[in-house]
Structure 1
Amino acid sequence: MSADSESIVYGCIKDAVGLSSDQERRRINRSAMLALPSAEQWPFLSQEMFAIPRIETSMTGYQTEVMHFGASYQAIEYEWEEWLKAFEELLAKMYWVDATVHLETELSGNHTFSWSCDGDFHIPGSKVSRIRCQWQHETGL
C-alpha cells in the first residue's frame, strides 16, 4: 500500500450522562459496538477500531461519555458511501447526543462529518439525523 492511497478515519460518539438510566445506556451502546464484526472479516466497521467503554464506569463530575474510534484503510474514500451507511446503522442502535467522523486522505483532502440529534439525545431504533460535512483540501506548492 502506498502512502497516497492510505485513508485515516477517526472520531467519537458522545452521549450524555447523569441520567437515571446511565448504566442501561452504556450497556446498550457497548452491546452495539461488541456486535460489530471482527477486523479479520474486512468490515467497514469493526470492534477493534472502537475503545469500548465499560458499563460500570463512574462518570462522577462529567457530563459526557466519549466513545472514540479510529482505523487506517486503503483508499476508503472510494467506498465512503458504504462506510457512512455502516456507521449510521451503528448509530441507529445506540444512545448518543452527537457524533463526529474525520476522514483524512492524500488525494481528496480532509473531511469532517457531524451528526446531531433533533431532541436531547438519540434513542436506539429512531431515525438518525442527516449529516453535515466540511471539506478541506491543502495542496503543496
Structure 2
Amino acid sequence: MESESIVYGCIRDWPSDCPTQSRARRESNRQVLAQLPAGDGWSLLGQEMFACSEQPSDGLYQTQVIHFGASYRTVEYEWSLWIKQFEALLKRLYWASAVVHLETELNGTHTFRWESDNGFHSPHEGELRVRCAWEREGSLRG
C-alpha cells in the first residue's frame, strides 16, 4: 500500500469595524472557492476540501476562517505544484494569514505559513511571503 499524506489548515480574514466590508470580503471569498474544480475534476485543490462558516451562530464571530483538508497518495512528490496552486488561490482571496499542515507517513509533518505584508491581503495586491517550519512527529509506520 502506498503512503498517505494528509493536508489541512485554514485561511484567516481580518476583523473589520465595518460589517458591510466584512460581508463583501466573505462573499468574494465564497465566490472564489466556488470557482474551484468540483467532483472528479480536481487533482490537488477542489471545492469539496474547503468550508467556512456563513453566520455568527455557525462559528463566525468577527473573522472568517476558511478551513480545508484532504488526503492524498504521497502528495509530497507533487508538493511544489500543490503550493503553486494554493498560492494562486491565495492571490484571489481576502486574507490576513494562512497555515497549511502536511503530514506524511514517512517524513513527519511540515507546517507552512503565509503572512501578508500589511496584515491583510486583497486580491491581486502584493507578493506572498511564506515561512516554512519543519516539524518531525511520530515514527515510521509499518
Residue type of the alignment partner of 1:5 = S
Counterpart of 1:97?
96
Secondary structure class of the residue paired with 2:13: strand
Residue from 14, 17, 23 that aligns with 1:16: 14
Which residues in structure 2 correspond to 1:1-141 (within 5 Å)? 2=1, 5-20=3-18, 21-54=21-54, 57-58=55-56, 62-138=61-137, 139=139
Residue type of the alignment partner of 2:109 = N
Secondary structure class of the residue paired with 1:131: strand
Secondary structure class of the residue paired with 1:84: helix
Residue type of the alignment partner of 1:43 = S
Q: Which moved more, 1:107-116 or 1:37-46?
A: 37-46
8 Å CA contact 1:91, 1:128 repeated in 2:
no
Q: Deviations over 1:108-139 (max 9, x none)?
A: 21000000001031010113422111112243
Tell me how large the CA RMSD over aligned residues is. Answer: 2.0
Distance apart, 1:17 and its partner CA: 2.6
Q: Give the fraction of aligned pairs with identical amino acids, expressed as a percent.
A: 50
8 Å CA contact 2:117, 2:129 repeated in 1:
no
Q: So what's the TM-score if we normalise by structure 2?
A: 0.86
Q: C-alpha distance in 1, partners of 2:71/2:111?
A: 16
Query: Would you say how many aligned residue pairs link Structure 1 and Structure 2?
Result: 136
| Structure 1, unpaired ranges of 5+ | none
Q: C-alpha distance in 2, partners of 1:43/1:127?
A: 28
8 Å CA contact 2:3, 2:105 repeated in 1:
yes
Q: Deviations over 1:85-116 (max 9, x none)?
A: 00000000010000000000011210000000
